[in-house]
Each structure stands twice: as structure tokens, then as C-alpha cells.
Chain A
């Protein structure tokens, strides 16, 4: 059983009338890579700032290694952060930036220079030690920010959307770098982002927040495959969501009446007559034809298609409702897809599931 390293209990932060974080509970183990994800204003950054001590909780608890730290000043915590803006000190050299944390802890000049240089070498930027930070590229600045935060050898690293300012190709490289660092250091990474791809690419556990509350926590795969709430289903991945009501439940399979007719899905704790959201992932939808499951099929009209890398999303419409199908391009190349043409989409009951509609 890993040590309960960071615990948030009924943590709440209000700014005047507005509630930024609404009594959340979260436990993070030592060495975990947790990503908090959600739309802007969902409270994820406020949560991070409360862990760093930059905001004082309105109520609830922040515990680090069991110790209550609600009121502990930020400079007395060892919770370094990589900022969205990076917040490098512009009037200092790269080396001085990295030395800063050690200097504040009273480490001798020779020793802090040695340790800072070690980190610069580790981050592959030793050659830039005496460079002015304004004369660095985006990727280099990122490395300086990481070295500066990690030089004091903390047990947790807080990251506030650190990759949001980088070019797409650098983001992928820095992600690999972060994964490597996390593996090598074995410390806790607490990563705040609004980007699904970042969260899913790196984190061992994903926390989805919305309007100050935690909607779902779990491994990336679990959150992606079985969203717990309609919000998560809409926010994560590409899902088709239909309102409906359960007609019957037989041997783990539910028949649901939706605007697109009777559809089947895996039934978990639902009863006939219940109002539900019927969710089917766009990537589990196929074109009807040889080999495709016909448990659920819907005739619709193709509207458009959108390419993203090797993945294509096909938008279709039936009864005024949009349905989306996501496939790798080569899987669809044979099919004649043209806007305006009818097509039949189908999926298995196994790939669809139900969410109880909140009353």
C-alpha cells in the first residue's frame, strides 16, 4: 500500500460569491503522475495554488505526508511549481535562475553552483548556464523552469499547464521528457491541464473537474472508456450522447428508447422506466457492411468529414441529431463517403453504455 502522500479533504475555495473549488476530496500517492483536467474556470488551477500555498482554502484540508498545511506559507512548503508563463527571473542568468531555490535555503555558493550545474547537465542545457533567460528558445526556457523547480529535490512537482505556450512538435518532445523525468525521479507529479492529449499521454491517473467539483478520477483508459457523467462523456474523447429511457433490461443488456429508435447497451444498475443518457464512442461506431455488428444500426445522411492526422471524423445526421464516427483513414478509404449520401452506422451493444440522467 503506497503512502498517502497528498490528501485534499472537503477542500473549498470561494472568491466572494463565486465558488472556485467546491469541497473536493482527492488522495494522491507518492510517485503518482496525476493530471487534473477540465475546462477553464473549473477550479483546477485554484486547487494547484492551494497545494502550493498561494491561495488559502476557505474550508477543508490540504495534507502533505499527513501534516495539515492549510496555513503554511508558500516559502515554507517544498512544493515547487512550473508556471504556465514559466515565470523565469528575467534579470538573472540561466544558472542564477536554477540556483535560486538553493540560495533561498541557505546553501553555500559553491554547493549550489555544483548542484545547479548538475541539473543543467541533466536537462541538457549546461552550455547555456551564463545565458540571459530572455535569449532562450521556448524549449530551452521550459528546461530551465524544470531544472529550477527540481534542483531542491522536492517530493512533489506542481505543473500548471507548462506546455501550453509551446509549438505542437515541442509539446510532444517535452511530454516524453516529463515522462522520463517522472520515471527517473519517482516523485509525485501534479499536472494541471485543459488538454486531453497531454493528460492522457502522461498521467497514470486523470482527475476530471468541472465547476469546482471532481467529476471522475481514474486511470486514463477508464476515464476515456467509461465516463462516469455526461460532462465527462462530452469533455473526454468524442462520444455520441442520446437522451433516452430504459424500456427493458435482459441479461445485462438494456433496450433504450431514443430519438433514433430502440438501441441496446450494456446495462449496469438501471431499471426499466429510468431516464438515461445513451453513450457510444465515435471510435466504436462503424459503417454497416461485412463484419460489422448489426446490434444497433441507424440510417443517416453524411454531412462532412474532418481530418486530424491519420484519424478522420465523419459527421452524419439522423432525425436532426448529429452522429460522429471516428476511424483511421485507411479503414475508410475504400468506402465511398460523400456529403449528402445516405449511410448506415452501426455498433455493438457492448460498446454502448448508459448514464443515469441527474434529476
Chain B
């Protein structure tokens, strides 16, 4: 075996190990969620959907789930719209203080969530929105917008500088050029941004915990459940949330990859 081959094998082992470490807890949670026993032990008990039935009957979960869905949809649409506007502004215009504008626009994910959450709590209480879905939506938009902007900005940076001017040159007004050229070109990034921002909002726990009051979102509810008791229901909820989030992220990835123009075979 050549040195090169050994290297390849070692590299593969390393990759597999890393993924195993990342995926093992999630996989365990998945498996245990279908286990009948109250306390998971090996060998596993009988296959059962009782924990899923349990959560379906929990009166606190449906409203939390509904809140999460409402927040997720609203946030993804608004954050993506604003993200597009911010990215387009950066693409199209030059102005004094543009670097500051960009830094501010991309700042939120770098702020510790506890600080952001606390700040949001104080601010939203002051303007009388504490404990409403609006409060969660506003906070999540702040967190999600940079993701949307970054994705769309990346796509715009791949666009031929002359493309928009070419549309004007052929008789398209600024709105028409936006509709017929800029939007179709950035569409994959816009769709990806919708899914990613929805996934981020769906997962976000800390800030929602600060500002939601009694309007709990699903992650907030899950943690509340977890604090009182360790129940295998957590595994069932975790599996559902994980599946939804991963679906959103994978969809976003797939859109970005599939919409990449095919190269000519010749």
C-alpha cells in the first residue's frame, strides 16, 4: 500500500468518525423515540409510537407548534425581502459609509444571543410588544436577515455587471429589469434564503425564550418540558423538529445546486 493510499484511508476514517460523533446523539434520539420503555436501556424494548401519541395529546404543544409555524413563515418572507433589498442596495449603489452599512447589516449573528435576547426584551417591553408573536417575529427577523442578505449578495456578486444595464439598454424600465432580469437571476438564492431563514427561526430558542412570554414557540416549550422531567417524549419532539429543520436546509442546498447552470458538454 502506498503512502498516498494510507493517507486516503486515514482521511476517510477521520471523516467517518467526525460524522459519527455529530450524528450519534441525534440518531440515538431517533431510535429511542420509537422505544416503548420509559428509560432507554440496551437491548431496546418493543417498537412503539406511544411517545408520539403522547405529544399529540399534550395540550401545550399544538399552540407552540402553531406559533413556530406562524413565526417561521412570516420571518422567512420578511427577512428574505429585506435581505434582498439590503443585498441589492449593496450591489447597485455606491455611497459614503457603505462599509459601515454592510457591517451593521451583517452584525446580528455575531452578537451573543443572551445579550441580543436581553436587549430585545427591554426594547420590546418598552414599546409594549413583549409576550406577543410580533415580538418573536421582529427578533427573529433581526437574526435571520443577515443570512438572507449573505446568500442573495453572493448570488448577485456572480452576476455579470452589465446584465442589468443591458436590460435597460433594451428598453426595460428599472422595475421591469428588476422583475425580468434581477429576480430570475437571484431566484435560487431567494428560495434558499426563504428556507434557511425559516430553519433558523424554527430552531432559535434563546431570544424567543426572552421575548415570547406566554406565546411559547416549540423550542421554548421543549425546554420547559425538559426542565420539569426527563421524558422520552423529548426524543419524539426532537426527531420531528430535526426532520423539519433538515428538510428546509437540504431543500435550500438542493435549490442552490440544481439551479446552477449546466456546463456545455462540447
Q: Which residues of A contact B (CB under 8 A)?
A: 52-54, 73-75, 78-81, 83-85, 87, 89-92, 100-101, 103-105, 132, 134-137, 148-149, 152
Contacts and interface: CB of A to CB of B under 8 A. Distances in A.
Contacts of B160: 85, 87, 90
Contact of B171 (A92, A104, A136): A104
B163 interface: yes
A54 B165 contact: yes
**Which interface residue of B168, B170, B185, B187 has the most chain A CB atoms within 10 A?**
B170
27 contacts: A53-B168, A73-B168, A73-B173, A74-B165, A75-B176, A79-B169, A83-B162, A85-B160, A87-B162, A87-B166, A89-B185, A90-B261, A100-B170, A101-B170, A101-B171, A103-B180, A104-B172, A105-B171, A134-B261, A134-B262, A134-B263, A134-B264, A135-B263, A135-B265, A135-B266, A148-B170, A149-B170
B203 to A, nearest CB: 32
Contacts of A101: 170-171
B184 interface: yes
A45 to B, nearest CB: 11
Given A134-B263, A135-B264, A80 B162 contact: no
B162 A136 contact: no
B264 A80 contact: no
Nearest to B187: A91
A105 B163 CA distance: 18
Contacts of B169: 52, 54, 74-75, 79-81
Nearest to A101: B170
Contacts of A134: 261-264
Given A54-B165, A134-B264, A135-B262, A91 B170 contact: no
A89 B176 contact: no
Given A83-B162, A87-B163, A136 B264 contact: yes
Interface in B21-68: none
Contacts of B170: 75, 80, 100-101, 104, 148-149, 152
B14 to A, nearest CB: 37
A91 B184 contact: yes
Nearest to B166: A87
Interface residues of B, number: 27
B181 interface: yes
B266 to A, nearest CB: 8
B175 to A, nearest CB: 10
A151 to B, nearest CB: 9
B264 A74 contact: no
Nearest to A136: B264
A136 B162 CA distance: 19
A237 B180 CA distance: 45
Nearest to B159: A90
Contacts of A54: 165, 168-169
Contacts of A87: 160, 162-163, 165-166
B176 A104 contact: yes
B138 interface: no
A270 to B, nearest CB: 47
Given A87-B160, A87-B162, A90-B185, A100 B167 contact: yes
Nearest to B263: A134
Interface in B161-215: 161-163, 165-174, 176-177, 180-181, 184-185, 187
B166 A83 contact: yes
Contacts of B180: 100, 103-104
Contacts of B261: 90-91, 132, 134
